[in-house]
Structure 1
Amino acid sequence: MHLQAILFILAKRSAHELLITRFSIYPTPPADNTTTGITEALFDNFKLFANFTSASYCPSNENSTVGSPITCSGTACPLVEANNVTSVIEFGGENDTTVSDIKGYCGIDPVRSLIVVAFAGSGNTIRNYLSDFAFVEIPYTDCNACWVHSGFATGWSERRSIVLAAVSTAILAHPNYSIVVTGHSIGAAVGTLAAVELRSLNYSVDTYTYGSPRVGNEAFADFVTSQAPAQGSNFRMTHVNDPVPQLPPTWIGYQHTSPEYWLSSGNDTTEDYGAQDVVVCEGVGDEGCNAGTGLVPIDGEAHNHYLGLIDVCQGPVSL
């Protein structure tokens, strides 16, 4: 079952609600709280961490021994390979028996002095998709009146112990390294929860996410947004009319963190962007930028193209 088919079913189920809310087939112009263009340094970071995220899809980065190089087939992660990134821990993939089968790794980048936790998105197993679309909320007890998506919370809870242990081990060995969490799709949502917990343990953590769905309610989005910059910065990228960042919908209470970095030009498969093409959208629950493009018509291709085909070396989908 492909992402586009599932989104189509969801859109049909929600047709009435879509008509009575601000979802539209006509794009909403960017609001006054937007600026165009980012620094070359930040854009380079977006490209680098897209490579780290792409590597999380690759079967070559499953069940490797500690210290093994992170490698990819084809053009998936040349920047990661050039930096001689090595593995601390890898999780998910073939033979995984968890409910959500969240796939990823923790790696060490000696060139950039980084400890990176990367999470793959939907597509490795049907269980990923089921976690994506379980729109049930559960309380998030670390902040007042916060709740989060139960499927994403389950995904994080199943990887929590090994990720926290890996980061602790890595920071003991490299106390001056910076910590970054990155991910795509459901991996971006799980990565957001991972970063928030790491920050609660007094780590400074930056996040770079690509095509993230909404993770929780407005109180949670405010909570995560307010952590920057003191506890680490949040860099959330969207691509033209990618439908996944428009889910779960706002009419059941979900909201996005701020800011959003929107690749607004080109089409659904455009990958060649520059720093000048990124629109920065400020404000929790901003209704412009990606949200203003509308959930209908559905275009799943935009979800896979983030400065490259981010899931290019994904293995076959299984149960």
Structure 2
Amino acid sequence: MFAFQVLWFSLLPSALSAPIFGLGSSSEATGAPTAVSLATANATLLRPAQFSRAAYCSSASLTTWSCGLPCETLSGVTFLQSGGDQGLIPLYFIAHDAVDQSLVVAHEGTDPDNILSILNDAELLLEDIDTTRFPQAAGKGIKVHSGFQETFERTADGLLAGVKAGLASTGVNKVVVTGHSLGAALATMTGAMIKGAVDPSVNVVVTTFGLPRGGNQAWANFLDSNVGVTFVTNQNDPVPTVPPLLLGFAHSSGEVHIVDSSQTNLVACPGHDNEHCATGNSLFHVSIANHLGPYFDDITFGGAVCS
């Protein structure tokens, strides 16, 4: 998270003349957002948020499903696998969710107390997507955030093997992939990889929180047509507006924006980088606290929520 703050200040001189961070791209959408009811949010977003919150807890506590509040609020869960070291290799875990009849893959977000984790966010270059893991992306001009891709690749093979084994052992036909912050960026890549590697009958759902931009417009289009991502942005959180549009990055569609601190005023934002939602946040009203939460139902992210 601190790496994003460094980026703000490095871009500040050029950004002061602009009303929003994303100014200068023709890809910004202008369509009016539509209201999302709290009932819909609770039905579709709450459980992925709870799993994303649990991903900040230690692997040992997840193995026994004894991570405190994040685990206590999720009944019907059987832990299957974890990976990463909560540093250079962020933690992920795979679980069977008997309530939703799904397999869940949850990625840990950036830990501001661990410098190795922060360094994963610091690279801002766009590089060609690895078509060995995303063969369906070949020839589409797709470029992704180099740091996110390198981090993703450190656990991709073991994670995919675990998902395939979990689908076989549980018999479910749905995979939910989720994460917050850096974990959200990794979740979009994981979801795309899984979608291309499992039987087409398997429903792959990607729901993330505090998602930074992860690639170019071709990557955003690819996510729209091949996966479909729902990503929740919270008020004046700056993280969803980096890396900036002026460096060639773009969001996919699927943004749900929390408008104010009531936690009940949510809107669906049409198109890519809708100027009425996170992309339109003012330079002078940034809130790092909004990145952590609360989102809705008092969901706050970070290791402090673990026992």
Bin for the TM-score computed over the shorter chain = 0.7 to 0.9
Query: What is the aligned counterpart of 1:111 among 74, 77, 99?
Result: 99
- Mapped contact 2:173–2:203 kept (Cα < 8 A): no
Amino acid at match of 2:146: S
- Within 5 A, what are the aligned runs for 1:289-308? 289-305=277-293, 306-307=295-296, 308=299
| CA distance in 2 between partners of 1:313 and 1:88 (Å) | 24
Offset of residue 261 of structure 1:
0.4
Q: Which residue matches 1:137?
A: 126
- Mapped contact 1:261–1:281 kept (Cα < 8 A): yes
- Within 5 A, what are the aligned runs for 1:164-179? 164-179=160-175
Query: What is the aligned counterpart of 1:196 among 192, 197, 201?
Result: 192
Deviations 1:286-317 (A, max 9, x none): 222011112444321000013311225468xx
**Normalised TM-score (structure 1):** 0.82
| CA distance in 2 between partners of 1:79 and 1:182 (Å) | 17
Deviations 1:178-211 (A, max 9, x none): 1000000000000100000111114431011000
Offset of residue 227 of structure 1:
2.2
RMSD after superposition: 2.4
Query: What is the aligned counterpart of 1:155 among 136, 143, 151?
Result: 151
Q: Which residue matches 1:273?
A: 263
Offset of residue 108 of structure 1:
0.7
**Normalised TM-score (structure 2):** 0.85
Offset of residue 177 of structure 1:
3.5
| CA distance in 1 between partners of 2:37 and 2:230 (Å) | 12
Offset of residue 53 of structure 1:
0.7
- Mapped contact 2:94–2:103 kept (Cα < 8 A): yes
| CA distance in 1 between partners of 2:186 and 2:267 (Å) | 24
| Residue 211 (structure 2) pairs with residue 212 (structure 1) | yes
Secondary structure of the 1:89 match is strand
Offset of residue 111 of structure 1:
2.1
Q: Which residue matches 1:23?
A: 20
Structure 1 gaps of 5+ residues are: 25-29, 267-271
Amino acid at match of 1:311: G
| Residue 116 (structure 2) pairs with residue 127 (structure 1) | yes
| CA distance in 2 between partners of 1:287 and 1:217 (Å) | 18
Deviations 1:212-234 (A, max 9, x none): 10010011001101225xxxx42
The alignment of Structure 1 onto Structure 2 pairs a total of residues equal to 286
- Within 5 A, what are the aligned runs for 1:83-98? 83=76, 85-93=77-85
Q: Which residue matches 2:24?
A: none
Query: What is the aligned counterpart of 1:76 among 63, 70, 87?
Result: 70
- Mapped contact 1:218–1:284 kept (Cα < 8 A): no
CA gap 1:42/1:314 in 2 versus in 1, 3 angstroms: closer
Offset of residue 17 of structure 1:
2.6
Q: Which residue matches 2:25?
A: none
